[in-house]
Structure 1
Amino acid sequence: MARVEFNPRTNLIEQAAYKYTLQDVPEPNLYREIFPYTEIPKIAFNHRHVPMFVPDEIWITDTTFRDGQQARSPYTVEQIVRLFDYLHELDNDSGVIRQTEFFLYSKKDREAVIKCMERGYRYPEVTSWIRARKEDFQLVKEMGIKETGILVSCSDYHIFKKLNMTRKQAMEMYLSIVEAALEHGIVPRCHFEDITRADFYGFVVPFANELMKLARQANMPVKIRACDTLGLGVSYPGVALPRSVQGIIYGLRHYAEVPSEWLEWHGHNDFYKAVVNSGTAWLYGASAVNCSLLGIGERTGNTPLEAMVIEYAQLRGTTKNMRLEVITEIADYFEKELDYEIPPRTPFVGRAFNATRAGIHADGILKDEEIYNIFDTKKILNRPIVIAVDAHSGLAGIAAWINTYFRLEGDKKIDKRDPRVAKIKEWVDKEYENGRTTVIGDDELEMVVREIMPELFKMHESRVK
């Protein structure tokens, strides 16, 4: 008969959670019915639903200097320090962007860590990442870092095919390095690599149970990062493990009793699900989601940090005291100083993310920009709405461009029926009649305005001065 007991975490009398033990199977479980490899992966449903459980606090951690550096030319020490400063300025002591992680393997990596630690910021805290090797752990001790990520691959793809071990051998190796961290007072953060292809009840939960035992013995946190290494996580209601994001988070909390504040989601965007999966992890009990600036990371990238800053604001109804305009400064730094090309329509950071070309949209913006803008991008991100003029913009589009470019408000706004707007449209029409296919640039339009509306241009110049 099932034992029942009062659960102080839910304040309910519940059947005692089943305690899963390691299944040390002789052959790997590769879930071939879901991941056939020669076909697109399948999304399987078992129609089981788990309860939402939003933690008291949710926050963001950063992997720009770890996973992010695996997808581009390495940053210089100076660039790392500047980006670290930007993260601190964006967080603005709100504690929403809590940590960032670093490699420690090269002299340059270690120099960057030292310079960032010398900044003395509370947020983001400097942490590291190592493989499950004692020689790697020595680096953490030497650097004086208080928390380190440890690679603990958990799918049979990795355990059998990459490590050439059994599940038992892998678990014993992982536990030994975690014990070493705890012995030296360093918080271990176990990166459960490839969790969305892992045997959840045969390895993941039994391993997490052993980690929680070590945490209780040492009276120290042992954190778990659920790594969706190939972006296979799915957040649909009733989706089956191992791909269920909510199932993974619920299972770690319920069956291994991992506290929310020790639980983190790390997603990739291979199937366009990085942001929604990260949000789902928050909603079902993970306090932390791991991100990188602009989503730069392995293959299709990580969850963009700036996206989760906005998601945090939507879920919590506050930005706390974060300075969201720093997101625009970060985007400018990537483009101007790092020569990184941001696709122009990338939400929040692309040059054209709040741009409109359609004449009917521009007509609405002429009346009130709120009609076609997602929020006050000028106030929140220091990114005024952009009007792009092309063959389809019409009188409304040109008038809207003039008003936004010259920052005309109230009774100073130019109406689309102004005859001078018609003259500018004639020039635009001729450009496309002569075979032009590109958008009219701001500099070109500025020259035309100088000729047709010189008084407007003089007014703009005097205000800038």
Structure 2
Amino acid sequence: MEDRKVYLNEHTNLLELEEHMYPLVDVETPNVFRNLFRYDEIPKIAFNDRTVPHHMPDEIWITDTTFRDGQQSRAPYTSEQIVTIYDYLHRLGGPNGKVRQSEFFLYSKKDRDAVYRCLEKGYKFPEVTSWIRASRKDFELVKEIGLKETGILVSCSDYHIFYKLKMTRRQAMEHYLSVVRECMETGIRPRCHLEDITRSDIYGFVIPFCVELMKLMEEYKTPVKVRVCDTMGYGVNYPGAVIPRSIPGIIYGLMTHAGVPSELIEFHGHNDFYKAVNNSSTAWLYGACGVNCSLFGIGERTGNTPLEAMVFEYAQLRGTLDGMDTTVITELAEYYEKEIGYHIPSRTPFVGKNFNVTRAGIHADGMLKNEEIYNIFDTDKFLNRPALVSVSNTSGAAGIAYWINTYYRLSGEREVDKNSELVQMVKASVDKEYEDGRVTVLTDEELIDKIESVCEKLHMTL
């Protein structure tokens, strides 16, 4: 007890006592938390009402896994596509590097070519990092390419240790530590991906393992990152929930009991239970500096935390975008749709075709009077996406004029008003459909066809 360090917590201004007193619990049989995770039942969320304090770091950021986890669930990107998306990420993150890193595979020539081309850009952010198998050959490849950090898979639940690796906890820990040491001896910063952490024994394996990682960091004077991987999306953000499902509890344990500093903690979430975004925000709130995301949430199974979602979470939590250029999000969405051929569901927040389209007649009426009533923020300013109202039998000429002006970006002298011949002819066509029994709103494609047809008759262009 006398040797344990007392230090001042700069967030609370209270003296605290280090509690790195958690030895490995080496069990003979796996602890797979059958009380929470019975395979023939829906997983349970249990509570013990032990809460931990918020600990928002001084600085938070986003890291990207579009080219790693994002490529595990779709056809591989071409080298050209990777380089183009990397350019977009650089612009999106802004001069302060809020999109801090992007991780790449190195196995194929195509992947390595893309890495070299991205490195040639000379961007400070996002830093190019890798994800490799845990072998000296791969570490040397990372060093040869010129990368300074790589991810290493260190599965931490007994599901993986006993059933997949066929090891004991002690054997797994010793194997992982030898691999991390080998990585550090080649001069590469390791980023340890603690796979399946939300089904692991936090205080019997994860904390003791991370204590040893911090000892290696001290020995080699090289940072060791810890990525909290909610691989199956079991994590929850509810105060008082029990570990291993509690994201606040995991982050608190890593900081307080394993001594991992906030800047070396990164959360990686999956969306199996629709909690990826909330869990990522929670990780920030309780002490993780980084959240790992994929563009549009594209990733294994239900996907990862959408990167664009965390851009707006950042702004809401910090009150500023800190230089991030959110209009790039719309450019990325258009690039994915037109150049990559990826279909974004129309109701996807921020990027879906209809995310800021008001369809209900009474709502559309409110939008025409003041768009703040039914639009989440100035989507034209932040995303180059003006709010739209759909056209139906209740829209009237004013609603049709509003749709034309916003969709075709008409302003000043080019604007059409409700009395224009174009609007009146389109309205007549719309009214006819509803007189004939139509009950649904018109799609964008249908409206465009009607408008183009009228424009042809009037010999005009928009």
The whole-number CA distance in structure 2 between the counterparts of 1:424 and 1:100 is 48
Quote the residue 2:451 is aligned against: 446
Instruction: Determine the structure 2 residue equivalent to 1:7.
Output: 7
Note the 1:170-319 alignment, pairs <5 A: 170-319=172-321
SS of the equivalent of 2:82 reads helix
- Decide whether the 8 Å contact of 2:422 with 2:455 is kept in 1: no
1:110 aligns with 2:112: yes
Per-residue deviation at 1:40? 1.0
CA distance in 1 between partners of 2:113 and 2:411 (Å): 50
What secondary structure does 2:266 align onto? strand
Aligned residues: 457
What amino acid sits opposite 1:208 in the alignment?
A: C
Amino acid at match of 1:439: L
Residue pair 1:4, 1:13 contacting (<8 A) in 2 also: no
8 A Cα contact 1:148 1:189, kept in partner: yes
The CA deviation string for residues 241-286 of structure 1, in whole angstroms up to 9 with x for no partner, is 0000111111100001100000000000110011110000000000
Q: For 1:8, what is the secondary structure of its paired residue?
A: strand
Matching residue of 1:368: 370
Gaps of 5+ in 2: none
Q: CA deviation at 1:323?
A: 1.4
SS in 2 for 1:278: helix
The one-letter amino acid paired with 2:9 is: R
Q: Which moved more, 1:425-434 or 1:303-312?
A: 425-434
Query: Does 357-366 or 63-72 show the bigger shift?
Result: 357-366
Task: Name 1:36's counterpart in structure 2.
Answer: 38
Counterparts of 1:392-403 in structure 2 under 5 Å? 393=395, 397-403=399-405
Aligned amino acid, residue 296 of structure 1 = I
Structure 1 residue 113, shift from structure 2 partner: 1.0
Query: 2:60 and 2:287 mapped to 1: Cα distance?
Result: 9
**How far is 1:433 from its partner?**
4.6
Q: Match of 2:133? A: 131
TM-score by length of 2: 0.92
**Distance in 2 (alpha carbons) for counterparts of 1:447 and 1:80:** 37
Change (3 A) 1:448 1:415: same
Q: Which moved more, 1:335-344 or 1:401-410?
A: 401-410
Distance 1:62 1:426, change over 3 A: same
Could you give the per-residue CA deviations for residues 348-401 of structure 1, whole angstroms, max 9, x where no partner exists? 111111111111121112112121111111111111112222456455643432
How much does 1:420 deviate?
Answer: 8.2
Contact persistence 2:390–2:441 (CA under 8 A)? no
User: How far apart are the structure 2 equivalents of 1:449 and 1:404?
Assistant: 18
Corresponding residue of 2:154:
152
Check 1:350–1:371 CA distance in 2 against 1; reply closer, same or farther (3 A cut).
Answer: same
Quick one: distance in 2 between partners of 1:4 and 1:167?
26
Name the counterpart of 2:354.
352
Q: Is the 8 A contact 2:398 2:418 kept in 1?
A: yes
Distance 1:407 1:107 in 2: 44
Closer, same or farther in 2 for the Cα pair 1:29/1:391, shift >3 Å? farther
| 1:194–1:228 CA contact under 8 A, matched in 2 | yes
Listed as ranges, the gaps of 5+ residues in structure 1 are none
Instruction: Give the Cα–Cα distance (whole angstroms) in 2 for the partners of residues 375 and 186 of structure 1.
Output: 43
Whether the aligned pair in 2 keeps the contact of 1:60 and 1:291 (CA below 8 Å) is: yes
CA distance in 1: counterparts of 2:422 and 2:77, whole angstroms: 50
User: Which secondary structure state, in structure 2, belongs to the residue aligned with residue 85 of structure 1?
Assistant: helix
Are the equivalent residues in 2 in contact too, given 1:130–1:149 (CA < 8 A)? yes
Report the AA paired with residue 121 of structure 1: Y
Q: CA deviation at 1:142?
A: 2.4
Please give the alpha-carbon distance, in whole angstroms, between the structure 2 residues aligned to 1:91 and 1:145.
20
In 2, the alpha carbon distance for the partners of 1:406 and 1:447 equals 12
Residue 68 of structure 1 corresponds to which residue in structure 2? 70
Cα offset, 1:149, TM superposition: 0.5
> Among residues 352, 375, 382, which one is paired with 1:380 in the alignment?
382
